[in-house]
Amino acid sequence: FDKSQSVFLFSLPFFIMKMIFQLTSVPSGGIMVSRDELNFYIMNLTHIEHLGIAVKSIEEALPYYEEVLGLKCYSVEEVADQKVKTAFFKVGQTKIELLEPTSEDSTIAKFIEKRGEGIHHIAFAVDGVADALAEVESKGVRLIDKAPRKGAEGLNIAFLHPKSTCSVLTELCEDPNKK
């Protein structure tokens, strides 16, 4: 720290100096400036985690993804509390998640009944779902999930309401093993 730096700092308006000194890192990897004073947080989206595609039958959809596109299904699992069976494929760092309803009253069954098979949602990987939910809610985004819950592949997940996200159902995902 030399005199030229102190001259620079003291020539800045007070509120900018205050911001510089109050910058702190948060556990989620974002940057926060005293939330009480400035309510500023930058969510750290790391990549598109997956695209969720609603299908009536994973068994009937598999030949297209495996034989036509040349992808390999690496995991099939049932998520009982969401009344859905999932199948995953990897394309680079992004996954494709096929979603088959396991009950007529599931969200996916209702989606297929109303809109037909097709893209259901986009999921972004974040470094802290709870922090990201707080941030988007503070910016007026309507939440489907107020707190993270367990999803397929053991991820912590939460959905944002499409009425607040340009009509795109958006999922935020966090791998609890990467902390």
DSSP-assigned letters across all residues of 101-157? ESSTTSHHHHHHHHH-SEEEEEEEEES-HHHHHHHHHHTTPPBS-SS-EE-GGG-EE
**Band of residue 43 on the pLDDT scale cut at 50, 70, 90:** confident
Residue 75 has pLDDT above 90, yes or no: yes
| pLDDT (0 to 100) of residue 44 | 84
Residue 84 has pLDDT above 50, yes or no: yes
| pLDDT (0 to 100) of residue 101 | 98
Rounded Cα–Cα distance for residues 143 and 130 (Å): 12
**CA end-to-end span of the chain, whole Å?**
34
**Band of residue 88 on the pLDDT scale cut at 50, 70, 90:** very high
Residue 16 has pLDDT above 70, yes or no: no
Residue 156 has pLDDT above 60, yes or no: yes
| pLDDT (0 to 100) of residue 41 | 55
Q: What is the pTM of this model?
A: 0.75
